[in-house]
Amino acid sequence: MITYLYWTFIAGLVIACLMILGNRFKKWKAATISAAVILVVSAIAYYFYFQQIFVKRYGGVMTISVPEGERHLAATWKDDNLWIENYDPKTNTCHFREYSRGNLLQGQVTIKQCNPMLRQE
């Protein structure tokens, strides 16, 4: 929900910029440049900062796909970064992958000979 509110607010800023600068003051070039800057800065801020914060703290929206051939086991948060655990039955390995803000600092831990599907006694 918060994600939709964020983008609605940004759309309102862009429309207000176009209406005030472009329509009222007849400065269409400045209005178009300002609107484009608002959109680019907002998209970068969302992707590199707000997305995971919105999801974790305020119930935002985020989609992650499980890699082909793997099975999803678990997901957990460490600070503001999401860690996903998947199992690859072909190689018998478990992969913990970190999804950090903007996917800049992604960590991965691989556990070999991991078979969570079998009960070990």
Residue 27 lies in a domain: yes
Considering the domain architecture, whether residues 106 and 81 belong to the same structural domain is answered as yes
Residue 94 in contact with residue 118, Cβ under 8 Å?
no
Residue closest to 75 by CA, chosen among 89, 67, 90, 85: 85
For range 50-75, the mean pLDDT: 89
Residue 63 lies in a domain: no
Considering the domain architecture, whether residues 38 and 84 belong to the same structural domain is answered as no
Domain encompassing residue 108: 71-112
For range 105-112, the mean pLDDT: 86
Residue 66 lies in a domain: no
For range 83-112, the mean pLDDT: 87
Which segments of the chain are extended strands (E)?
71-78, 81-88, 93-99, 108-112
Encode burial over 85-109: b for 16+ CB neighbours within 10 A, e otherwise.
bbbbeeeebbbbbebbbeeeeeeee
The pLDDT tens digits of the residues spanning 13-50 come to 999 999 999 999 999 999 999 999 999 999 999 988 88
